Amino acid sequence: MRRFGIIVGAFVVVLVAATLIFAATFDVNKYRGTIQAELEKQLGRPVTLGDMHLSVFPPRFRVENPAIADDPHFRADAPFIKAQELGISVKLLPLLHKQIELSSLNLERPSVNLIKNSTGVWNFASLGHPSTNPETATAPSSSGTSARCSICLSTNG
């Protein structure tokens, strides 16, 4: 029985060491194009991602300077949302079943630009399903009839 315990213990040590080596040598930045393209497809907007980091204990994914562009019918000069850092933590047990469950999502120093045009449509309305009909989301008129709201939230400092 003691021999079995030693074998199981050695297996656990090797597994933990392999996981730590994997985490130390895996470069998630190699997949930036794929991750960025999938986010753009899901959001229907251009996405910019900075340097990315992955940690195993706890399972966490961090992105520096993420930004999501605004709806092209509103503004092109400023992003819809940008932040200093995006941190995503996931639950470990669902990962073993190939499922992703978020335990936390943190934005550090986010800046969100909310714009409502003269027809009452907000710039966030097209997130996840880009507008194909230009009638539903017209650009704000130059007469000043659009409402703009810039929200700047600060967390962690």
Q: Over the stretch 103-156, which tens digit does the pLDDT of each residue have?
A: 888 889 999 888 888 888 888 888 887 555 444 444 444 434 444 454 444 344
Q: Residue 12: inside a domain, yes or no?
A: yes
Q: Residue 121: inside a domain, yes or no?
A: yes
pLDDT score recorded for residue 132:
52
Average of per-residue pLDDT values in the chain: 77
Q: Residue 112: inside a domain, yes or no?
A: yes
Q: Residue 157: inside a domain, yes or no?
A: no
Query: What is the amino acid identity at position 55?
Result: S
Q: Residue 143: inside a domain, yes or no?
A: yes
Bridge partners, 151 (sequence order): 112
pLDDT score recorded for residue 104:
85
pLDDT above 70 as % of the chain: 82
Q: Residue 49: inside a domain, yes or no?
A: yes
pLDDT score recorded for residue 64:
93
- The pair phi, psi for residue 6, each rounded to 5°, is -65, -40
Q: Could you tell me whether strands 85-90 and 81-82 are parallel, antiparallel, or unpaired per DSSP bridges?
A: unpaired
Q: Residue 14: inside a domain, yes or no?
A: yes
Q: Residue 38: inside a domain, yes or no?
A: yes
Location of structure tokens 């995006």: 86
Domain that holds residue 123: 2-152
pLDDT score recorded for residue 143:
39
Q: What beta strand segments (E) does 9-153 contain?
A: 47-48, 52-55, 60-64, 67-68, 81-82, 85-90, 102-108, 111-116, 147-152
Question: Domain count of the chain?
Answer: 1
5 has a pLDDT exceeding 70: yes
Q: How far apart (Å, rounded) are the C-alpha atoms in residues 71 and 125? A: 9
Q: Kindly state the average pLDDT of the residues 70-74.
A: 84
